[in-house]
Amino acid sequence: MSGNGDILRVDGLTMRFGGIIAVNELSFAAERGKITALIGPNGAGKTTVFNCITGFYRPSAGEISLTHPGGESFRLDKLNDFRITKIAKVARTFQNIRLFAGMTALENLMVAQHNKLMLASGLTFLGLIGAPSWRAAEKQAIERATFWLERIGLKDRADDAAGNLPYGDQRRLEIARAMCTDPVLLCLDEPAAGLNARESAALSELLLSIRDDHATSVLLIEHDMSVVMEISDAIVVLDYGVKIAEGTPQQIRDDQRVIAAYLGVEDEEVEAVEQELGL
């Protein structure tokens, strides 16, 4: 592997819900400055892994550690949900879009800069008296939001309610909102779901630019293989909560177990695969 090092390491991650093991002894790493995709058939446990990484679930066992470019390390399995974004700088989007529908696109991006603005407003007190330092910080935040609106081509809809935007625009706005929290790792849960071919291409371009221009590593769950194969630097394949393959897009494309997981296999092959997996 290149000298960048890993930004995210998942070690022996297990997540149980009652008797169901959604994720079993999963270990993988995501390299800094790369786009890592997490793929697998429906119900493979991809979103559960995401929820563990972003603190929405507390893992039953295992370690998740994140290393900042400065060398600072965070144990994500020990941090509270909002602190993962606030301190460890991991941002996420959701499979079913979760924008603030009744707020404008611009307001959505302002809310994302909450922690920075909260400090700038002197925990509200400086803001209440309208201190110049607060005004400057607010102006800066609006500029930053405008930059991202321009970047996703929604500047002329900045003052429209987020819930009124077309589906594809909402997807991009959610990514822009996540980017406004200044993340080092951006976790996207099916960003291309429901997009048409043209929108998917625009999304690929956006994600590549996030990786290259904004020094943000990307972890991606996606079913749209054209997007995955085009932009991913590395792919991890999950099936029934177990990692069945890991590698570059080319390696994954040719992997027999991956093909079997997606397309099914002949009966006699099942035993062979199971033996190989130690099931």
CA proximity to 244, closest of 68, 35, 64, 24: 24
Q: How far is the CB of 168 from other proteins (least distance, A)?
A: 18
Name which of residues 16 to 55 contact other proteins (CB under 8 A). Answer: 54
- Give the integer Cα–Cα distance in Å for 43 and 251: 23
Q: How far is the CB of 93 from other proteins (least distance, A)?
A: 8
Considering only 107, 199, 233, 255, the residue that binds other proteins (CB under 8 A) is 107
Q: How far is the CB of 27 from other proteins (least distance, A)?
A: 25
Name which of residues 110 to 129 contact other proteins (CB under 8 A). Answer: 110-115, 117-118, 121, 124, 127-128
Neighbours of 72 (CB within 10 A): 11
| Backbone φ, ψ for residue 40 (5° rounding) | 160, 160
The answer to the question of residue 147 lying near other proteins (CB under 8 A) is no
Estimate the crossing angle of helix 267-277 against helix 256-263, to 10 degrees: 130
Which C-beta is closer to other proteins: that of 187 or that of 252?
A: 187
Would you call 238 exposed, middle or buried from its count of C-beta atoms within 10 A (0-12, 13-18, 19+)? buried
Which C-beta is closer to other proteins: that of 141 or that of 207?
A: 141
| Backbone φ, ψ for residue 218 (5° rounding) | -125, 135
DSSP 8-state symbol, 104: B
Q: How many residues interact with other proteins (rule CB under 8 A)?
A: 44
The answer to the question of residue 85 lying near other proteins (CB under 8 A) is yes
Q: How far is the CB of 35 from other proteins (least distance, A)?
A: 20
Instruction: Collapse the DSSP code of 273 into the 3-class scheme (helix H, G, I; strand E, B; otherwise coil) and give the result.
Output: helix
Q: How far is the CB of 187 from other proteins (least distance, A)?
A: 9
Q: How far is the CB of 236 from other proteins (least distance, A)?
A: 22
- Are 53 and 23 in contact by the 8 Å Cβ rule? The answer is no
Residues making contact with other proteins (CB under 8 A): 54, 56, 81-86, 91-92, 94, 98-104, 106-107, 110-115, 117-118, 121, 124, 127-128, 142, 146, 155, 158-161, 163-164, 177-178, 181
